[in-house]
A = this chain, B = another copy of it.
Amino acid sequence: MPEFMDVHNHMQGITAEALKAAHEADLAAQGEENVIFKSAWADPSTGKVFCLSEAPSADAVLRVHERTGHAADEIHHITLEV
Residues of A within 8 A of B (CB): 3, 5, 14-16, 19-20, 23, 39-46, 48, 50, 52, 74, 76-82
Contact = CB atoms under 8 A, between A and B. Distances in A.
Taking the full assembly, how many copies of this chain does it contain?
A: 2
Given A19-B82, A50-B50, A77 B41 contact: no
A5 B43 contact: yes
A82 B44 contact: no
Nearest to A21: B82
Contact of A77 (B5, B45, B77): B45
Given A19-B82, A80-B14, A80-B19, A41 B52 contact: yes
B5 A48 contact: yes
